[in-house]
Structure 1
Amino acid sequence: MNHPMWLDNPAITAELLPALGQTLLMTAFAALISVLLGLPLGIWLWATARGCLAPRPAVHRALSALVDLGRSIPFIILMIALIPFTRFMVGTALGWQAAVVPLSVGAIPFFARLVEAALRDVPHGKVEAVQMMGAANGQIIRQVMVPEALPGLISGATVTAVTLVSYTAMAGAVGGGGLGALAISYGYQRYQSDVMIACIALLVLVVVAIQFAGDRLARLADHRR
């Protein structure tokens, strides 16, 4: 029985789906950690800025410098620099579990800036109205700022997850596994263009699926519509 020639390639038939699974796991875990840690960091950035809930210019400048430093380091360099820390956290510097560490470290400051931007878009009048009713800063953040900024926060998380997908491909260059490692080891080093095309197609599908889901959730969370 005739079948497509690419099905004769063991890199596709045996390794493509496990590599896809590794990419999805890296993206999911790193995105979750980035949201859990980047959200409070972004709130802290916003709250300590001038004219916000708890203006602390010195603290804001220090946080802003730290976030900008984290965002400015190229991911491939960050991943290599964090090898000792990665080994300490997960016991190894290879595999998708190890790749989650630098992926998260690189994405946390990125998402924090998006959180700060989303909170700045909330009309200041709503904050003032709640302050006049005697609400504490914590209540304002939980009950006003986060709900009002939720569509922007979801969009920011979506952008972060999409960025992480591209980071996972780079992680494959230094033993991170996933579709990036498969594309490099077979598609580039062994000149198997069908493997490269298959990896690219799956990465595109993953990005499209994440963007579609994120856009849908953001629309559902937008009470202004």
Structure 2
Amino acid sequence: MSLVPSRTPPARLMSRVDGVGHWLSPLGLRALLAWEFFEAGREKLHGDNWFADLGDKFPLPFSLLSPGVNWTLATWLELIGALALLLGLGTRYAAAALWVLTVVAIYAVHWPSDWSSLSELWQGYAITNDGFGNYKLPLIYLLMLLPLMLNGAGRFSLDHLIVSTRRAQTTTSADGTAWGVVLAAIGVTVSLLLPWAGAVLAMAGIALLTWPRRPILATS
């Protein structure tokens, strides 16, 4: 008699749904984001450069570059990044690059130029600009890019195919290094918009990276 309880039919069904989700859920995010960024890049490719009208609104180090260079970088990053997301190739890197691009766009274009309270800042959470900014859509893009940065492209991707062909059994240490890198990187970009929040995230990430940890011995 088996001592391991068998799973109930609902549990088995949910397990199968989870399996389908590993294939389809990231694909939906990738396809939608690829379309949106490709459209933005195509408009820049065939449109006029209006970055010069922004003056000195770009953050460092992009403020050191000319409007033409920034325009070219944004155009091709959106086009190539969109293709990478669609194919699921180098997804984490593409999502991270588009994350930075989106944060810079919020900082230079969509963030309200002057606000004195959170209630005024909240008025910028909109699609149209009524003088308080319009950061709603790019903020949604940031939240959609986050699971692709952290979890990758999913199973229906070239990334998964490449990893499957090179997979080897390894033992890794379950420490906070990955969390430290993620929090520090997100904190640096968020600090462009909300310095105090970005500083807290970055400090938490640095703390995780420097916190002494006992090595975990691999067992056969």
- TM-score normalised by structure 1 residue count: 0.29
Q: Could you say which structure has the higher helix fraction?
A: 1
- TM-score normalised by structure 2 residue count: 0.29
Say which structure, 1 or 2, has more relative contact order (CA 8 Å, 6+ apart).
1
